[in-house]
Amino acid sequence: MVRLLASNAAIRKLVAPGERHVTVYRTDDTTITRRVQMALQKISLGSHSLVVTTEERIVRLSGALCSQVCIDRAARIARAIGGVLSVRNDLRLLPH
């Protein structure tokens, strides 16, 4: 895995004047977690305990939901958030 540690200013110094360059923005784990949480709060999942954590852009969903449809929907929504590399879906069904 390659990590970009240079600032935008340092990158600009490496590019010769007049050359085109692309600035890469990396979304941090805290921002990804917040975006996933906000997206999941907008829909009704019937959750009493849904926990979202992110480490190195890998989102982990844990807790319990009322149906498999809700579990699948939560994972699909998390995958759609910008910056997410993958989703580890550890959600389980609520006992009836």
Mind listing the domains of the chain with CATH numbers?
Answer: 27-93 (3.30.1340.30)
Backbone angles phi, psi at 2, to 5 degrees: -100, 130
Give the span between the Cα atoms of 96 and 93, in whole angstroms: 9
- Mean pLDDT, residues 10-31: 62
Instruction: Tell me if the pTM is above 0.75.
Output: no
Residue 10, amino acid = A
- pLDDT at site 48: 64
- Mean pLDDT, residues 31-57: 89
3-state SS of 26-64 is CCCHHHHHHHHHHHHHCCCCCCCEEEEEEECCEEEEEEE
**SS3 call for 73:** helix
* Higher per-residue confidence, 25 vs 91: 91
